[in-house]
Structure 1
Amino acid sequence: MRILVTGATGFIGGAVVDALLARGHVPVPAVRDVAAAKRRWPQLDAVACDFMRDTDAATWRPRLIGIDAVVNAVGILRESRGASFDALHSATPRALFAACAEAGVARVVQVSALGADAQAASRYHLSKREADDALLALPLRATIIQPSVVFAPEGASAGTFLAMASLPLLALPGGGVQTLAPVHLDDVVEAIVRALASDSPPTRLEAVGPHCLRMRDYLAGLRRQLGGGRQLVLPVPMPLVRLASHGMARLPGSIVDPETIAMLERGNCAPPGPFAAFLGRAPRPVDAFLPPSAVPAVRTRAKLRWLLPMLRVALALVFVVTALLSFGLYPVEASRALLVRTGLTGTAADLALHGGAALDLALGLAFLGPLRLRRAAYLGAALLILGYTAVITFALPELWLHPFGPVLKNLPILALLWLLHELDR
């Protein structure tokens, strides 16, 4: 079959394309970034689309020529500038499904979400439900796949859970008693492929793992697979979590806001029987999520997700506090006395002192900025440290032998800057 896959460069959509290729089908990725799809699948002909704009069925009809089935795997957890629930989850999918009915493309699989039901309250779930209901009202052989939390080592949410599992100490909302039924990506993708091939697929299928777990137990299961010992969990009172979520919603890249906290509290479980029956076997349990051969690499990535930010913040504090000390927290006359020994006096000394402090402050703050700015700051800081070290070596060589090692400490800082430049993504 020729199968149009929307969201093909995303987490679930990309896995669907790979699975269809492995089974001899011809997937047609429908994506906003055609070049990215071509790099991943050079043998496929990708179709350009924009879910924020393509809200009319007429836009989709030409893309469905020669198409036998459609998989819609477009989804976002939180809105951002240029990505709204209404367009991505509701308006554009409804236009796509209407175009399928008009073009005679009878097989459609919609990747929705567990919780997009009559009890839905969040805009995320409500927008998913609008598209689900519109699809089932059309004369199509349609299946709504509703996954719980989907796991694969390369997934964004899985990466967050793995990082949390690798921490020695973890603060969890309400102590982590919220429930979920984690399901492996491979099982979700197999269900999608089976639904496409079935002559009588289910109209709705809740894709869940074999067990409904508390969040803290899910994390404990991941931690066991990573080879970690016992983890200390600190409960954070839910009223405080709800209050903090309003502030977290304003942080760039944050997945936490009042709605996601409400969805967490609602829970994300369903009976596993129907999903297991459709697969013809039990879905993979959490304790089998990671193959042993992948554990070392996954464990390293999980730890780097929190070690690298911690390292960034530590270096930022070094530079910011150094700047504040140079601006006057450390006696200015003592700083000037050191500069005299390097040949700087008067206005030149003041310019060097305060200019260097301003540069330290700018670099420290840049360490906390976006990636491109951070990587430039790492190089700038390394050059600054090398410059300082050269001046000290010629003008104040005795500092190399100081028992507190003020110059020797530049060596590990340079190594850390290099590490961040290479690994901070």
Structure 2
Amino acid sequence: MRVFVTGASGWIGSAAVDELLARGHEVVGAARSDASAARLERQGATVRRTDLDDLDGLRAGALEADAVIHLANKHDWSNPAESARAERAAVETFTAALAGSGKPFLLAAGVAGLAQGRPSTEADRTDARGPQAPRGGTENLALDAVPQVASVSLRFAPTVHGEGDHGFIAEIARAARERGFAGYIGDGTNEWAAVHRSDAGRAVALGLDGAPAGTALHVVAERGVSTRSIAEAIGRGLGVPVRSVAAEDAERAFGWISRFWGLDMRAESADTHRLLGWTPTGPTLRDDLEAGRYTR
């Protein structure tokens, strides 16, 4: 298939592009910079110069492809409303372009907020709806469009880890360097699901080939790792003390990441493993932490 991928040069996207190409797909990657375009060309992908604000470019990419995988997001934590607006507009553009075509549409989502007091499952549905919701409510927007649009939700673990990660765990490690201690909120028993980047990229490609319309996939290898154990590993790696931070002091200690660091984001993924025949083989989050991936 000819697959149009947004976020193709990003952390997860670049791993997914390698997997898609290895499975014989032709990849057209969205790129907004010369550096991103060059990286995609080195991987063997075709480049379309566009970004999330270029709705005409996104529409054309979808119409010219056999499938769309939407992984891009502005991730502007200083202006989450703008990130949500751009995400909503992009997904509205894709669903309109793909309606009635039967072309697969896979979009990035997450496991946060799906369940309270238990690990979330693939059967859970988010309450996030409408333009003002997190991610612009796009998971429900896409799944509600089935069967007119062959939508599949890719719910990634909150940490997609590995060498070179600049996401949430890297931000926690950065805060520890700056403040001289590695912290967790409260008793640190809240847990985060995790998946290695290589396994995430493979799951995306398998999802394109094997997930029916309307499916929510949990791209999760470990159902949960406690935030206290993560902080302890960062503390060992940096040689700094580890301490609990009260909820009311969390923003001062961790910055914007505090709004997520205190959440419990456990997730099951057995149904996804069975459906896709996906068995994660990459390092665990603990492996990457103990190897110094975030503290060198």
TM-score, normalised by the number of residues in structure 2: 0.77
Using the TM superposition, give the Cα deviation of residue 65 of structure 1 relative to its aligned residue in structure 2, in angstroms: 4.2
Q: Distance in 1 between matches of 2:161 and 2:191?
A: 15
Deviation per residue, 1:71-96 (Å, 9 max, x gap): 00012443457992233321212212
Structure 1's 13 and 65: CA in aligned 2 closer, same or farther, altered over 3 A? same
Using the TM superposition, give the Cα deviation of residue 159 of structure 1 relative to its aligned residue in structure 2, in angstroms: 3.3
1:320 aligned partner: none
Structure 1's 39 and 68: CA in aligned 2 closer, same or farther, altered over 3 A? same
Structure 1's 122 and 170: CA in aligned 2 closer, same or farther, altered over 3 A? farther
Q: Distance in 2 between matches of 1:96 and 1:121?
A: 19
Verify: 1:3 aligned to 2:3, yes or no.
Answer: yes
Using the TM superposition, give the Cα deviation of residue 173 of structure 1 relative to its aligned residue in structure 2, in angstroms: 2.5
1:180 aligned partner: 192
Q: Distance in 2 between matches of 1:124 and 1:268?
A: 23
Using the TM superposition, give the Cα deviation of residue 169 of structure 1 relative to its aligned residue in structure 2, in angstroms: 4.4
Using the TM superposition, give the Cα deviation of residue 38 of structure 1 relative to its aligned residue in structure 2, in angstroms: 2.5
Q: Distance in 1 between matches of 2:130 and 2:166?
A: 21
1:261 aligned partner: 258
Q: Would you say the 8 A contact 2:203–2:278 is kept in 1?
A: no
Amino acid at match of 1:234: R
Using the TM superposition, give the Cα deviation of residue 239 of structure 1 relative to its aligned residue in structure 2, in angstroms: 1.4
3-state SS of the aligned residue for 1:239? helix
Deviation per residue, 1:39-61 (Å, 9 max, x gap): 4424433112231342xxx6544
**Overall identity of the aligned pairs, in %:** 22
Q: Distance in 2 between matches of 1:164 and 1:210?
A: 24
Amino acid at match of 1:218: I
Using the TM superposition, give the Cα deviation of residue 137 of structure 1 relative to its aligned residue in structure 2, in angstroms: 2.5
2:274 equivalent among 274, 277, 294: 277
Using the TM superposition, give the Cα deviation of residue 165 of structure 1 relative to its aligned residue in structure 2, in angstroms: 8.6
Verify: 1:152 aligned to 2:162, yes or no.
Answer: yes
Using the TM superposition, give the Cα deviation of residue 105 of structure 1 relative to its aligned residue in structure 2, in angstroms: 5.5
Using the TM superposition, give the Cα deviation of residue 116 of structure 1 relative to its aligned residue in structure 2, in angstroms: 5.7
Verify: 1:190 aligned to 2:199, yes or no.
Answer: no
1:367 aligned partner: none
1:238 equivalent among 247, 266, 269: 247
Q: Distance in 2 between matches of 1:124 and 1:8?
A: 24
Q: Distance in 2 between matches of 1:199 and 1:78?
A: 30
Using the TM superposition, give the Cα deviation of residue 279 of structure 1 relative to its aligned residue in structure 2, in angstroms: 4.5
Q: Would you say the 8 A contact 1:113–1:125 is kept in 2?
A: no
Q: Identify the structure with the greater strand proportion.
A: 2
Q: Distance in 2 between matches of 1:124 and 1:162?
A: 32
Coordinate RMSD, CA, aligned? 3.7
3-state SS of the aligned residue for 1:109? strand
Aligned length: 279
Q: Identify the structure with the greater helix proportion.
A: 1
2:13 aligned partner: 13
Q: Distance in 1 between matches of 2:130 and 2:242?
A: 31
Worse overlay, 149-158 or 160-169: 160-169
Worse overlay, 138-147 or 199-208: 199-208
Q: Would you say the 8 A contact 2:161–2:288 is kept in 1?
A: no
2:149 aligned partner: 140
Deviation per residue, 1:328-353 (Å, 9 max, x gap): xxxxxxxxxxxxxxxxxxxxxxxxxx
Q: Which has the larger radius of gyration?
A: 1
Structure 1's 176 and 95: CA in aligned 2 closer, same or farther, altered over 3 A? same
3-state SS of the aligned residue for 1:16? helix
Deviation per residue, 1:118-156 (Å, 9 max, x gap): 666799993326211121222222210111221121110
Deviation per residue, 1:88-109 (Å, 9 max, x gap): 321212212221226x251111
2:31 aligned partner: 31
TM-score, normalised by the number of residues in structure 1: 0.56
2:70 equivalent among 69, 72, 80: 72
Amino acid at match of 1:71: I
Using the TM superposition, give the Cα deviation of residue 221 of structure 1 relative to its aligned residue in structure 2, in angstroms: 5.8
Q: Would you say the 8 A contact 1:166–1:223 is kept in 2?
A: no
Q: Distance in 1 between matches of 2:161 and 2:137?
A: 25
Amino acid at match of 1:216: R
Amino acid at match of 1:38: A
Q: Would you say the 8 A contact 2:150–2:214 is kept in 1?
A: no
Task: Flag structure 2 segments of 5+ consecutive residues without an equivalent.
Answer: 115-124
Q: Would you say the 8 A contact 1:2–1:68 is kept in 2?
A: yes
Using the TM superposition, give the Cα deviation of residue 280 of structure 1 relative to its aligned residue in structure 2, in angstroms: 2.9
Q: Distance in 1 between matches of 2:45 and 2:155?
A: 28
Q: Distance in 2 between matches of 1:83 and 1:31?
A: 23
Deviation per residue, 1:336-384 (Å, 9 max, x gap): xxxxxxxxxxxxxxxxxxxxxxxxxxxxxxxxxxxxxxxxxxxxxxxxx
1:107 aligned partner: 104
Q: Would you say the 8 A contact 1:187–1:283 is kept in 2?
A: yes
Structure 1's 62 and 209: CA in aligned 2 closer, same or farther, altered over 3 A? closer
Structure 1's 217 and 121: CA in aligned 2 closer, same or farther, altered over 3 A? farther
2:118 aligned partner: none
